[in-house]
Amino acid sequence: MPWWRSFFWKRSREPELDRELRFHIEELTEANLAAGMTPEEARRQAMLEFGGCEQIKEDLRDVHRVAILDRTLANLRAGFRFMRKSPSFSITVILTLALGIGANSAVFSAIDAILLRPLPFPDGDRLMRLAQSNRRIKDPESAVAPVRLEDWNRINSTFQAIAGYYTEDESESSGALPEKLTRALVTPRFLQVLGVSPVLGRDFAPDEERFGGTNAALISDRFWRRRFSADPNAVGKRLRYAGNPITIVGVMPASFLFPERGVDLWSAVPMDAPYGQSRESTWFRVIGRLKPGVTVGQARADLATVQAHLGREYPKTDANLDVSVQPLKETTVGGVRRSLWMLYGSVSLLLLIACTNIAALLLSRAAHRQHEIAIRFSLGASRREVVAQLLTEALLLAVTGAALGLLIAKGAAILFRSAGQYVPRVEEIGLDWRLGLYTLACAVTATLLFALVPAIRATRGGLAGSLAQASRTQVSARNPLQLVLVGVQVALAVTLLAGAGLLVRSFQALGRVAPGFEASHVLTFHVTGNYGETADMKSLTQRIQRTLDSLRSVPGVEATATAATLPGVPTQWGAELKVVEAAMDPSRKIMAESRFVSPGYFETLRIPLLAGQMCRETTGSFNIVVNRSFANTYFAQTSLVGRHLQMPTNGFLPPGEVRGVVGDAREMGINVAPVPTVYWCVSAPMPDPYYLVRTRADPMSMAQTIRRKMHETDPARSVFEIMPLEEQLDDAFAENRLLTVLLGFFALTAVSLASIGLYGMLSYFVSVRRRETGLRLALGALPAQILRHFLLQGLGVTLLGCIAGLGLAAALTRLLAGMLYGVSPSDATTLFGVILMVVALAAVASLVPAFRAARVQPMQVLREE
Amino acid sequence: MPPEKSDLLQGTLDMLILKVVALGPIHGYGVSLRIRQISKEVLQVQQGSLYPALHRLEKRGWIEAEWGESEHGRQARFYKLSARGRKQLAAEEMNWRRLAEAVGLILETAR
């Protein structure tokens, strides 16, 4: 019977037991009958003779039960004894595993929280993101007009409800100082789609969702605690937001962070507002909740039909639109999936190295334990029992390590939360029973990985084998397994190091890029503003121009500008353009990125004017400047200055006159080469554009001055997100940077582990072969020969490991391809550097034991015999 | 009046069971009967000791159990000796002989 069957003892054996004992009683009864007793008497006597049936059964159960329990307990006791007896070995193993399992669990906790779990909404997997895309624009998703959203919601047959939202930052001025609050403006049905209700108060009433109705807001838990100290009477209180009174009708749960972490309040958008009836408005990001049992494919087909219908009804505005439907979870976390799995891959490699390392350590320790194992065999233990004992010891170490590892994972969760602001769902990472189970599974797997082979080898040959293998032999057997284990460690370390090296080189290459604009000494920030202001574009523009002027007057400020987007921070806004003066040539489509910037943008960022004039802000029409790529790509022969460009897909944007050509700047990201770009000169592309200020001194040193100046200019508004442009650019690569740092850390750990493994293996070889070495020296071998022998053994296995590692790296670094800039995944310099580093470390790790071997005193060795 | 019954040493019971089982497949009731008969009613094994011993021996792999039909046509659990059990029995028999011999010697001399 296999041992694990003992656990199922009761189910499988109980009836059998009954039958066996019953048989005995029946036989006794039979015998009594034969002796001439009456049937009742015979049975009574039989029962009497047999004794307590239940007692016997219990004894029998014990026979089966006690064995496994006893053995496990004994093994555990032996394990603790073993740990006490060899503390330094145990601590090494425990710490190595704590690191390996801890790193693994930490990354798994992130993967579990971010990728594996459904979104934190009821039936979160039924939530979809919907978007419209114009077949003639490269911008993948544009916001949806209120009327179209209502059409989708009304006509479709696959969604329970569809809702939309957008956010804006405005000042709340009911306190002593204005405070910037982020407000999400949401359509009716918003909370219904998400399946969430306020913990306090209520959802919006119909009166609060129509034009001219009451202004109402739901507030976030965070804001509720900050402003109202979690007072339940906050509901019903009034705020003054963007100059208008607004009544708090409810408080949302703390876990509700949609659409983004920083939202302080939610308000309903009147869908019947007269200014919101254009089908060309771009207002809402859209989410929908599928009806139960509906697939994404069905929803896509349904909405395609709906939109085709709308296209026939409104050919001018809707004919070119497609609707995309994607799981909300996918659009939320899809961006970090690759990085997370990559991290997981590298920590798993690390754990594998750690296990290999410990396996080698155990193999070399087996020599010390051979005597003990031999004694156990001679006392009648079976091989299985000895292996079980060795595995129990290992498991004890692994579980201790895993417990420490959980602490590391907990620490990492805190680190994740503080460092990973740009990682979605990062607040959901934490310690829970799933992680506990995972860590335990890690410990068990690790145990099998590092302890099974050494245990089986240590018990090979049973009693005779282990007695014969005593360390008295003059020439020890070659130990290819240990060599293989060290080779594997080197190979895995090389793989990790190659990945980290490539990422580091990619960052170096990125640092050498000339982006076409000067990011240093530029401060960026926002000033609160709301979309209500766009009703009067003239006064909005004047307000922003006034702000720019007053900023310009601050001593130490050299230039100021506003822009809808930041240069070098990835944004896509590509659309087809046409020249007003020329007939549309269908064979030569003009595709270009558009940027909306104030005229001071080029001075502030030091983008040079190459031809024509700088743009000016004019009322009624637009000035345009184009970059060199645009001029060269589409107007290499003819002059462009003075012509008018138009964006046919945007009904709100009047044609603009091209005034000049400026230099190419890497607008779409430092790692993206400049593409044809058109700059529309407008100071107020939106109510709260980015402000860019070129300062003479360190930009952050001006932050307070600017804050004060802004408060003087417009006391009701607040300034927020003040930071240098360089920091913004850094943030754009924060995910890559974090990945690089972590991968680098793992790679260095891996290399250290491999070096320690190599050192340990050679030290063991040297100690085992002391006698042999002594003999050889006595027979005339030179110490240099001995040194070379061991050194070459170390370097040989390292080189083989390197070759295997290069093969592995060639296969795995391809995964990095999209993340690298200016360096190919098979970059020879990087790989050569990695090999050089590993070989150098291996040489150091081998030299120490090799020297020790060469210094063996022959006389002393021979005397020991 | 039957002769006085002797208690058995723990290890001795195991050996006796092995010996009886070695004679051919036999069920628990048969083992108790056979021990009584062969020892001429001197040794009587309590069921409370017999079955735990049988199961212990089975667990150690010295005997193997199989369901079969008894002489009266009932389902009974038959035990038979395994190869390892045969070795064990030989070892125990030898031990016992030496022990008995030694004890005998002492008793003879001390007479």
pLDDT of residue A723: 92
> In terms of pLDDT, which residue wins out, A160 or A864?
A160
pLDDT of residue A4: 47
pLDDT of residue A222: 92
Interface probe with B: pick from A14, A23, A57, most Cβ of B within 10 Å: A23
Contacts of B28 in chain A (CB under 8 A): 20, 23-24
- A268 pLDDT above the threshold of 80: yes
Interface probe with B: pick from A20, A26, A28, most Cβ of B within 10 Å: A20
Phi/psi region, residue A110 (left: phi>0; alpha: psi -120 to 50; beta: rest), is: alpha
Three-state DSSP state, A321: strand
Q: Do A23 and B75 touch (CB under 8 A)?
A: yes
Please answer whether residues A530 and A651 qualify as being in contact, where contact means their C-beta atoms are separated by less than 8 angstroms. no
- How many angstroms separate the CA atoms of A718 and A258, rounded? 23
Please answer whether residues A757 and A358 qualify as being in contact, where contact means their C-beta atoms are separated by less than 8 angstroms. no
- Among chain B residues, the shortest Cα distance to A47 is held by B47
Contacts of A21 in chain B (CB under 8 A): 47, 51
Size of interface A-B (CB pairs under 8 A): 54
- Six-digit token pair at A27? 């036989």
- A329 pLDDT above the threshold of 60: yes
> In terms of pLDDT, which residue wins out, A335 or A228?
A228
Task: Please tell me the distance in Å from A42's CA to the nearest CA on chain B.
Answer: 16
Contacts of A448 (CB under 8 A, 6+ apart): A391
C-alpha distances out from residue A668 to A421, A672, A685, Å: 22, 6, 18
Contacts of A568 (CB under 8 A, 6+ apart): A515, A517, A519, A665, A666, A667, A669, A670, A725, A728, A729, A732
pLDDT of residue B4: 43
Please answer whether residues A624 and A678 qualify as being in contact, where contact means their C-beta atoms are separated by less than 8 angstroms. yes
Q: Which residues of A545-570 are buried (b: 16+ CB within 10 A; e: fewer)?
A: eebbebbeebeebebbbbbbbbbbbe
- Six-digit token pair at A145? 């007009």
Task: Please tell me the distance in Å from B56's CA to the nearest CA on chain A.
Answer: 6
- How many angstroms separate the CA atoms of A703 and A556, rounded? 12
A34 touches chain B (CB under 8 A): no
Q: Do B29 and A27 touch (CB under 8 A)?
A: yes
**Range from A72-86, A469-483, A763-777 carrying the lowest mean pLDDT:** A469-483
Query: For B52, which of A23, A27, A60 is closest by C-beta distance?
Result: A60
- A610 pLDDT above the threshold of 80: yes
pLDDT of residue A608: 94
- How many angstroms separate the CA atoms of B30 and A693, rounded? 103
- How many angstroms separate the CA atoms of A737 and A848, rounded? 37
In tens, the pLDDT along A49-101 reads 777 777 787 777 777 766 667 777 878 888 888 778 878 888 888 988 998 99
pLDDT of residue A388: 87
Query: For B47, which of A16, A24, A63 is closest by C-beta distance?
Result: A24
Q: N- to C-terminal Cα distance for chain A? A: 48
- Six-digit token pair at A435? 């992680």
Strand intervals (E) in A47-142: 127-134
A19 touches chain B (CB under 8 A): yes
- Among chain A residues, the shortest Cα distance to B78 is held by A20
Please answer whether residues A693 and A604 qualify as being in contact, where contact means their C-beta atoms are separated by less than 8 angstroms. yes
pLDDT band at A108 (very low <50, low <70, confident <90, very high): very high
Task: Please tell me the distance in Å from B65's CA to the nearest CA on chain A.
Answer: 11
pLDDT of residue B53: 87
Q: Do A27 and B59 touch (CB under 8 A)?
A: no
C-alpha distances out from residue A255 to A89, A119, A127, A196, A569, Å: 45, 11, 17, 10, 30
Given the DSSP bridges, would you call strands A522-527 and A690-695 parallel, antiparallel or unpaired? antiparallel
A50 touches chain B (CB under 8 A): yes
- How many angstroms separate the CA atoms of A61 and A18, rounded? 12
Query: For A56, which of B27, B51, B76 is closest by C-beta distance?
Result: B51
A52 touches chain B (CB under 8 A): yes
A59 touches chain B (CB under 8 A): yes
pLDDT of residue A51: 72
- A2 pLDDT above the threshold of 60: no
Mean pLDDT confidence for A514-518: 92
- How many angstroms separate the CA atoms of B54 and B76, rounded? 14
Nearest to A445, CA basis, from A401, A410, A413, A485: A401
Contacts of A56 in chain B (CB under 8 A): 47-48, 51-52
Contacts of B76 in chain A (CB under 8 A): 20, 23
Q: Do B28 and A20 touch (CB under 8 A)?
A: yes
pLDDT of residue A474: 41
Type of residue found at A546: R
Please answer whether residues A614 and A607 qualify as being in contact, where contact means their C-beta atoms are separated by less than 8 angstroms. no
- Six-digit token pair at A456? 């089986």
Mean pLDDT confidence for A237-255: 91
Type of residue found at A102: G
Please answer whether residues B14 and B92 qualify as being in contact, where contact means their C-beta atoms are separated by less than 8 angstroms. yes
Query: Measured in whole angstroms, how far is the alpha carbon of residue A230 from the centre of its chain?
Result: 33
Nearest to B10, CA basis, from B74, B65, B57: B57
User: With the CA atoms of B99, B101, B106 and B107 taken in that order, what torsion angle do they form, in degrees rounded to the nearest 10?
Assistant: 110
Query: For A55, which of B29, B48, B72 is closest by C-beta distance?
Result: B48
- How many angstroms separate the CA atoms of A394 and A616, rounded? 75
Q: Do A56 and B29 touch (CB under 8 A)?
A: no
Q: Which residues of chain B have pLDDT under 50?
A: 1-6
- How many angstroms separate the CA atoms of A352 and A489, rounded? 8
Q: Do A60 and B46 touch (CB under 8 A)?
A: no
- A541 pLDDT above the threshold of 50: yes
Query: For A51, which of B46, B56, B76 is closest by C-beta distance?
Result: B46
- Six-digit token pair at B75? 């389902």
Mean pLDDT confidence for A232-236: 92
Residue listed under structure tokens 């109980």: A14
Q: What values do phi and psi take at A174, rounded to 5?
A: -85, -15
Residue listed under structure tokens 């595995």: A391
Q: Do B28 and A63 touch (CB under 8 A)?
A: no
Interface probe with A: pick from B17, B77, B78, most Cβ of A within 10 Å: B77
pLDDT of residue A479: 67
Residues in B whose CB is inside 8 Å of some CB of A read: 27-29, 32, 46-48, 51-52, 55-56, 59, 70, 72, 74-77
Q: Do A30 and B72 touch (CB under 8 A)?
A: yes
Contacts of B46 in chain A (CB under 8 A): 51
Highest mean pLDDT among A31-45, A299-313, A646-660: A299-313
In tens, the pLDDT along A614-638 reads 888 877 778 999 999 999 988 887 7
Interface probe with A: pick from B13, B56, B71, B79, most Cβ of A within 10 Å: B56
In tens, the pLDDT along A543-596 reads 999 999 999 999 999 999 999 999 988 887 777 788 888 766 666 778 888 899
Q: Do A52 and B70 touch (CB under 8 A)?
A: no
A18 touches chain B (CB under 8 A): no
Helices (H) and strands (E) in chain A, counts: 24, 21
A20 touches chain B (CB under 8 A): yes
pLDDT of residue A477: 53
Three-state DSSP state, B97: helix
pLDDT of residue A461: 63
pLDDT of residue A36: 85
- Six-digit token pair at A598? 């104030």
Q: Tell me how crowded residue A16 is: count the other CB atoms within 10 A of its CB.
A: 12
- How many angstroms separate the CA atoms of A329 and A296, rounded? 13
A128 beta partners = A288, A327
Query: For A23, which of B27, B48, B55 is closest by C-beta distance?
Result: B27
pLDDT averaged over every residue in chain A: 86
Contacts of B51 in chain A (CB under 8 A): 20-21, 56, 59-60
Residue A783: cis peptide before it, omega within 30 degrees of 0: no
Query: For A63, which of B28, B46, B52 is closest by C-beta distance?
Result: B52
- Among chain A residues, the shortest Cα distance to B48 is held by A56
B79 beta partners = B26, B65
Q: What values do phi and psi take at B77, rounded to 5?
A: -95, 115
Nearest to A193, CA basis, from A89, A319, A328: A328
